[in-house]
Chains A and B, each alone.
Chain A
Amino acid sequence: MSSAKTSSVTAAHSVVEPSPASRRIAGALVILYALVTLVPLAWIFLTSIKSPPDSISYPPKILFTPSLEGYCNLFTTRTRQTPDYIAALPPPSGVCDAVTRERNMVIAGPSNFLPRFTNSLIIAFGSTFLAVSLGTLAAYGFSRFKVPLADDLLFFILSTRMMPPIAVAIPIYLMYRQLGLSDTALGMMLLYTAVNVSLAVWLLKGFIDEIPREYEEAAMIDGYTRLQAFFKVVLPQATTGIAATAIFCLIFAWNEYAFASLLTSGSAQTAPPFIPTIIGEGGQDWPAVAAGTTIFLVPILVFTILLRKQLLRGITFGAVRK
């Protein structure tokens, strides 16, 4: 399936060695593209370290005094007080204390951001782990055994991806209410797993098909069971594919907004539906929203950087693997 597509890619690479000039042009284009796509991200980050007045000043300020107010507001809830009351308080105990008092407010307690962010981490990584584990096992089964109606089953698995997931939102909403899964981390994890597992099966089947079965057969002749051979021989060789699949699954689960806003509201709410609610709390607090978005980007960034070697090799779907 994927081999035909990728072999032409590798052929193109090996036959034509790019000249220095075309290399430079390609490099320049890549940098230009990177800059264009980075502008919004840079803007978000800059906004997160502006003070609220700077963030809405027009024309927008490129040069400004950085402020931690956005981050302080993101992590806390505050109450307005009279200047006399604030003056009577003991000296501020931290940066956020000080910043808040300048606005005639005091910190009342932590905001919901941290628990929501933690929910996102648990749900996204948990569902990714589940989807990739199930996907690897299923893909291995489809790849190695005579599964009755294998092609139909694979098509059925793929067909779950053919409609936008939100099309089934109402049935799932009703189902979850019956089952007591609404607004639970478990429910969200299962939902994202269900959506991702089809992608995982298909991607991973391609990778596992390319691992010659002689490797497992050799291990089984040498006294390993099939399961042991799977863990000792197949998994190590499938790491590239597993890493690539995991990133795709994680990005979906991490960014998912529609189901999250429909099915979670309280204890299991994830960061995507939470971040927009920051806007409403006491005026349009853009620095706090931007701070939330900036922090929201970090896990994906870290995960992708950690796996980038595997990802680069995996994204060519095994063509370069040797």
Chain B
Amino acid sequence: MAEVTLKGVTRSFGDKRAVDSLDLHIADGEFVVLLGPTGAGKTTTLRLIAGLEKPDAGTVEIGGRPMNGASPAGRDVAFVFQQYSLYPHLTVYENLAFPLRSPARRMDKATLDARVRQVAKMVRIDHKLENRSTRLSGGEMQRVAIGRALVRRPSIYLMDEPLSSLDAKLRGELRLELKRIQKELGATLLYVTHDQIEAMTMADRIGILAEGKLVQIGTPREIYANPANLHVAARLGQPHINLVPPGLLPDAATPAGTRTVGARTEHLEIARTEGGVAGNAEVDWIEHLGDQNHLHIKVGGHKLVTLADPDLPVEAGDRISVRLRQPLYFGSDGQRLA
């Protein structure tokens, strides 16, 4: 394992800047997740680190050594692709053994076999080693794909949305397993995704990527609680953060220059109006999710969504009072004010 540093890395396709002067440091043994929507430059970033793309400017350093011009094979990275992860003409065993059989490695048969079986167990596919890789379910394929990276001990593992094609339940399981395995191995891992839950649950640090630029990087807690701007705030939180104009809801102190107030569930105090006090909001409808409710609220022509305790005794059409509690303030440029 090794640390990886990107310095001012830029890559354009035509006049489209897929990655725009990206600076990123991944410490040895760290699990970093880059979070961004489709087209943000996530795949390109990984390909630049792997040497599948050449940067127009900037350098990639792996283990302190600049990688300019180094071939993919010379970089000692492992890559899990978003799609097409397994060789269809090989069995699961052969797929897992493939990286170890490369002429660059030359491993004796017994070591190879032991390693393949160990990793197969780790990703829980050891019962299907002799299957054709095309005869697997989506979840099993993804396990093998991850396993094929794990058979090696590279400087860094690069994973490109490896769970995005799976259903929610499997995704949840594999998320936990991947985090467990990474801890077990002490692996340096750069994982890119558009799924905020994957980012929040697995990352040591999350980097928010937008249009090729790294907007903010920090621990999941920091990114969630202290977003640098509107874009970052909007990437995280379920339900989606409510963006309202200042003054719409009662608040202790709104900083000067506020253009937008961002309020998640924890920033909203909701009370039933008792004894003739006129509330400032109306319950529009209630979405029952089982353990929680999504409360859809109408305030002066704006619609807000917040989580609510299922026991909260309100119904659609009820008047309620809503006030802000230390929300997020953003200026006219979208940057965070306080």
For the complex, give the distance between the alpha carbons of A218 and B88 in Å.
13
Interface residues of B in 77-133 (CB under 8 A from A): 77-79, 81, 83-85, 87-89, 98-99, 102-105
Which residues from chain A contact B71 at a C-beta distance below 8 Å? 220
Fill in one digit per residue for A203-224: 1 if any B CB lies within 8 Å of its CB, else 0: 0000000001011011111111
Question: With A237-B89, A322-B134 in contact, do A220 and B73 touch (Cβ < 8 Å)?
Answer: yes
Which residues on the A side are within 8 Å of B81 (C-beta)? 214, 217-218
Query: In the complex the two chains form, is B98's CB within 8 Å of A222's CB?
Result: yes
Asked if A217 meets B52 with Cβ closer than 8 Å, knowing A223-B73, A225-B73, A322-B134, the reply is yes
A223/B83 in contact, CB under 8 A: no
* Complexed CA–CA distance, A224 and B85 (Å): 16
- A236–B50 alpha-carbon span in the complex (Å): 25
Q: By the criterion CB–CB under 8 Å, are B134 and A224 in contact?
A: no
Chain A neighbourhood of B102, CB < 8 A: 219, 222-224, 228
Interface assignment of B29: CB less than 8 Å from any CB of chain A = no
A233 within 8 A of B: yes
B72 lies within 8 A of chain A by Cβ = yes
A212 touches B84 (CB 8 A): yes
CA distance A224 to B87 in the complex (A): 14
Q: Tell which of A215, A224, A236, A322 touches B103, judged by Cβ atoms closer than 8 Å.
A: A224
Q: What's the Cα separation between A214 and B83 when bound, in Å?
A: 8
Complex-state Cα separation, A72 to B104, whole angstroms:
60
> Which residues from A are CB-within-8-Å of B79?
217-218, 221
CB of B152 closer than 8 Å to a CB of A: yes
Q: Is the CB of B72 within 8 A of A220?
A: yes
CB-based nearest A residue for B50: A221
Contacts of B88 in A (CB 8 A): 237, 322
Q: List B contacts of A322 (CB < 8 A).
A: 88, 134
Complex contact A223–B89 (CB within 8 A): no
Rounded to whole angstroms, the CA-CA distance of A237 and B86 in the bound complex is 12
Interface string of B129-172 (1 = CB under 8 A from A): 00000100000000000001000100000000000000000000
B153 to chain A, nearest CB (A): 13
What 1/0 flags go to B51-82 for Cβ under 8 Å of A?
A: 11000000000000000000111010111010
Q: Are B73 and A221 in contact (CB under 8 A)?
A: yes
Closest to B90 in A: A236
Using A218-B81, A237-B88 as known contacts, say yes or no to A223 and B104 having CB atoms under 8 A apart: yes
Closest chain A CB from B187 CB (angstroms): 16
Given contacts A222-B152, A223-B104, A237-B89, contact A215 B84 (CB under 8 A): yes
Measured between alpha carbons, how far is A179 from B148 in the docked complex, in Å?
A: 55
- Residues of the A chain whose Cβ atoms lie less than 8 Å from the Cβ of B84: 212, 214-215
Docked Cα-Cα span, A299 to B148, in Å, equals: 44
Q: CA separation between A156 and B102, bound complex, in Å?
A: 38
Contacts of B52 in A (CB 8 A): 217, 220-221
The CA-CA distance from A42 to B70 in the complex, in Å, is: 64
Min CB–CB distance A229 → chain B (angstroms): 10
Partner of A223, one of B50, B105, B148: B105
Residues of chain A lying within 8 A (CB to CB) of residue B75: 221
* Complex contacts, B85 vs chain A, CB 8 Å: 214, 218
CA distance A233 to B72 in the complex (A): 16
For B148, the chain A residues whose CB sits under 8 A away are 218
B50 contact set on A, CB distance < 8 A:
217, 221
**Most chain A CB atoms below 10 A, which of B71, B84, B85, B102:** B102
Partner among B72, B105, B134 whose Cβ is within 8 Å of the Cβ of A217: B72
Write the nearest CB–CB distance from B265 to chain A, whole angstroms.
40
Contacts of A228 in B (CB 8 A): 102-103
Chain B residues within an 8 Å CB radius of A217: 50, 52, 72, 79, 81
Other A-B pairs beyond A215-B87, A233-B87, 19, CB < 8 Å: A212-B84, A214-B83, A217-B72, A217-B79, A217-B81, A218-B85, A218-B148, A219-B102, A220-B72, A221-B50, A221-B52, A223-B73, A223-B102, A223-B103, A223-B104, A224-B104, A228-B103, A236-B89, A237-B87
- A-B contacts, 28 of them at CB < 8 A, read A212-B84, A214-B81, A215-B87, A217-B52, A217-B79, A218-B81, A218-B85, A218-B148, A220-B52, A220-B73, A221-B50, A221-B52, A221-B72, A221-B73, A221-B78, A222-B73, A222-B102, A222-B152, A223-B73, A223-B99, A223-B102, A224-B73, A225-B103, A228-B102, A228-B103, A237-B87, A237-B88, A322-B88
Residue numbers of A with Cβ under 8 A of B are: 212, 214-215, 217-225, 228, 232-233, 236-237, 322
